[in-house]
Structure 1
């Protein structure tokens, strides 16, 4: 049984993830903001590696750097590292149970925070608050519902 693929879901989901990163939040909750772009990109790297790879991650990261007004190339580097690791272990991760997949994604999001901290450290910028390290936990909790929503949209039959 072949399922119809909805080609619009990929670009729209990445755009929505980018826009979710721009939504203002109170200063208290800002460090807990999940890295939506990384979560959605991780889904697509696992489920459609022929459409999303290192090049897309780099371009998406540059676009995010421009949109968020940060250091040009920081998010591009972070997303490329995440995509590389996911692509390397894709064959195993795809078939993990959802709970183990969420733990793996949490580890990758934690690794993303380490890369971000290293970039800030090298540049001599102000160190990020301790709550900054809680965002990977939020992303890990959101992985299963996000995966379910994107799977439903991607595999939905037309008509």
Structure 2
């Protein structure tokens, strides 16, 4: 399985808690989402499933890829690493799952996958961390395949 963690691109500033989920991408954020989507399209991904947070900025980031995507409440602001792992089907899905979500959940999941415990790691806006799961000599391994930032 390949698991790609994609943080939403830069959004306009929030004015209050209610407005947070309605914030749209800034002009710069739109460009960054498009550039990252172009990079992702060039990768050898198979059986791709794209899942997005319901926040407008995350959905706009996912849309840049030009593939169908599903909105999942488990990826919303305030999610935790366990929510993200469960919705992705890690490590059992046979293909690629792209999760478009938020900090700090994405960073905590990256830390968990690489170190075995959650920590407050940062994934930059519109940044991608790409993990693979494989079995070698009857041992399950997690591999960091790429980190891409704009």
Give the TM-score of the pair, scaled to structure 1.
Answer: 0.29
Greater radius of gyration (CA): 1
Q: Which one has the bigger strand percentage?
A: 2
Give the TM-score of the pair, scaled to structure 2.
Answer: 0.30
Q: Which one has the bigger helix percentage?
A: 1
